[in-house]
Amino acid sequence: MVNYKFLQQVKVVSTDNLAQTLLAILREAGYQRPLFVMDKFLLQSEIVQEAKAKLIQNSFEVNTFTDIVPDPPLEVVDQGVAAFKESQSDAIVAIGGGSSIDVARGINIVRVNGGNIRDYALGNREIGLTKGLIAIPTTSGTGSEMSNALVLTDQNSEQKLAILSDNAVSEYAILNPDLVLSLPKKMTIATGLDAFSHAAEGYLSKLSSPITDAICEKVMFLLYHYLPRAVADGNDRIAREKVMVAACLAGWMLNNAGTNIGHSSAHILGSKYHIVHGEAVAYALPGVLQLAGQAMPNKVHEIGQILDAEYSKNLSDQEMIMVVSKRYKVFRDHILGLHPFADYGINQDELLTHVDEIRHEQFAGNTPITLNKENVTTFLKQFGAR
């Protein structure tokens, strides 16, 4: 018998009418003064303006915080907390990708529990039940609308700091495909591959369970079949909706199965070299398959089946794992068209200076084999290889 937890605390609503749905949710929850957290560009979009106008017409007081940047630093959260208090808001509506929702979650944690966000990033303060966050994703990949985690950057150390708490999940998540129809191709690829990595790493995690396995398999299946369609035609509403659902489910799996060394490498290398997160985990995944496959070859075989890998007879486990790794690269590099890691201009030897940081990063412990300098060095030598 496998012992495991399985939680789903977020109320998920899928809608074609964001303005009306948001109004209904705020009324249901009893909130009157929402603070909208998003970037400046998104604030000007027609769909957001319609949602704001709908609330104002119905006597809600709406305020905004738009100082969102990629890889948000800790200080942005504290600025958001100040904006929340100054406006006397009583809830947060986060609209955007992972950065916006992570900042909003951080604001919500601090405004409910006190202190400043660094207290929680360093593990010096407990997080109590934190309601009042309504998350509305505009990308399909981070899963932040469902996740119990947020990742912020310490600008002094250039480290990414993760905060995890089941008490900090969104109260509501609203899925609206209209918000992702205009997502550029490059971002569609990166965020979609992030969702695929959430599922694949969760599937190959020490924390995986029969229930999370079933959901992770479905997520990978949906992304394999529908992400290429969304990349080819951003207005393919069916594909966009399927990818959005897959990303949402993958975010849910973050809370139950976690990630592993793939995300550890993305957190360390992403903060050092400014590698787009979804691209970083995609560059890492072939190495994850080869590491985790040593302990979970049957699961790597299943991933290969989802990816339409072709197996010849009498393959050894190592040969099979290489087949799956190569097939994933076909999906990543050719079917989807992720640009080469070489475009970043980073010397591969430079990556090897981060072996110890990566193997000791908090998510690396979910990798189903013991990590040491030798196998993490091998993993990094494969990072981004085509």
CA geometry: angle at 167 spanning 162 and 170, to 5°? 85
CA geometry: angle at 190 spanning 189 and 192, to 5°? 65
DSSP-assigned states of every residue in 230-290:
HHH-TT-HHHHHHHHHHHHHHHHHHHHT---HHHHHHHHHHHHH---HHHHHHHHHHHHHH
* DSSP-based three-state secondary structure for 209: coil
pLDDT of residue 271: 86
pLDDT of residue 156: 86
How many angstroms separate the Cα of 316 from the Cα of each of 16, 126, 294, 312, 322? 49, 48, 11, 10, 10
Residue pair 278/141 in contact by the 8 Å Cβ criterion: yes
How many angstroms separate the Cα of 315 from the Cα of each of 45, 105, 300, 369, 377? 53, 47, 13, 22, 26
Tokens of 119: 């207290």
Phi, psi dihedrals of residue 163, rounded to the nearest 5°: -120, 125
Tens digits of pLDDT across the chain (386 residues): 467 767 789 999 999 999 999 999 999 999 999 999 999 999 999 999 999 999 999 999 999 999 999 889 999 999 999 999 999 999 999 999 999 999 999 999 999 999 999 999 998 999 999 999 999 999 999 899 999 989 898 988 878 888 999 999 999 999 999 999 999 999 999 999 999 999 999 999 999 999 999 999 999 999 999 999 999 999 999 999 999 999 999 999 999 999 999 999 999 999 899 999 999 999 999 999 999 999 999 999 999 999 999 999 999 999 999 999 999 999 999 999 999 999 999 998 999 999 999 999 999 999 999 999 999 999 999 999 99
* DSSP single-letter state for residue 333: I
pLDDT of residue 3: 73
pLDDT of residue 7: 77
The one-letter amino acid code at 285 reads L
What CATH number was assigned to the domain covering residues 11-179? Answer: 3.40.50.1970
Q: How far is CA 2 from the centre of its chain?
A: 26
d(CA 145, CA 327): 30
Picking from 183, 201, 164, the residue whose alpha carbon sits closest to that of residue 288 is 201
pLDDT of residue 71: 86
d(CA 71, CA 151): 8
d(CA 280, CA 286): 11
185-381 adopts what CATH topology?
Dehydroquinate synthase-like, alpha domain (1.20.1090)
pLDDT of residue 2: 66
pLDDT of residue 160: 83
Q: Do domains 11-179 and 185-381 have the same CATH topology?
A: no
Residue pair 363/267 in contact by the 8 Å Cβ criterion: yes
d(CA 376, CA 174): 39
Domain boundary assignment for the chain:
11-179, 185-381
pLDDT of residue 8: 87
* DSSP single-letter state for residue 313: T
Residue pair 160/109 in contact by the 8 Å Cβ criterion: no
Residue pair 121/163 in contact by the 8 Å Cβ criterion: yes
- Find the farthest-apart pair of alpha carbons in the chain and give their distance in angstroms, rounded: 69
- 3-state DSSP of 48-76: HHHHHHHHHHCCCCCEEECCCCCCCEHHH
Residues in the chain: 386
